[in-house]
A and B are shown apart, each in its own frame.
Chain A
Amino acid sequence: MKKTETVALRINGQTLSVRAGTSVAAALRIAGSADMGTARRSVLGQARAPFCGMGICHECRVDIDGRRRLACQTRCEDGMVVETSA
Chain B
Amino acid sequence: MQADVIVIGAGIVGAACAHALAQAGQQVLVLDAGVGGATGAGMGHLVVMDDNPAELALSRHSLALWRSLVPRMADDCAFSPCGTLWVAADDAEMVAAEEKQQRLGQHGIDCRLLSANQLATAEPALRPGLAGALEVTGDGIVYAPNAARWLLGDGGSNIHIEAAEVVAIEAGHVRLADGTQRRAPQILLANGIHATALCPELPIRPKKGHLLITDRYPGTVHHQLVELGYITSAHHAEGPSVAFNLQPRPTGQLLIGSSRQFDTTDMAVEAPMVAQMLQRALRYIPALGDLNAIRSWTGLRAATPDSLPLLGRHPWREGLWLAVGHEGLGVTTATGTAQLLAELMTGAAPAFDPTPYAAERFTATATA
Contacts and interface: CB of A to CB of B under 8 A. Distances in A.
A69 B292 contact: yes
B266 interface: no
A61 B293 CA distance: 10
Contacts of A61: 215, 292, 294
A58 B251 contact: no
Contacts of B294: 58, 61
Interface residues on A, range: under 10
A67 B290 contact: yes
Interface in A57-86: 58, 61, 67-70
How large, as a class, is the contact surface on chain B? under 10
A26 B291 CA distance: 23
Contacts of B290: 67
B292 A43 contact: no
Nearest to A85: B216
A41 to B, nearest CB: 10
Contact of B295 (A43, A58, A68, A70): A58
Interface in A27-76: 43, 58, 61, 67-70
B251 A43 contact: yes
Contacts of A67: 290, 292
A70 B217 CA distance: 15
Interface string B270-295: 00000000000000000000111011
Contacts of A43: 216, 251
Highest count of chain B CB atoms <10 Å: which of A67, A68, A69 = A68
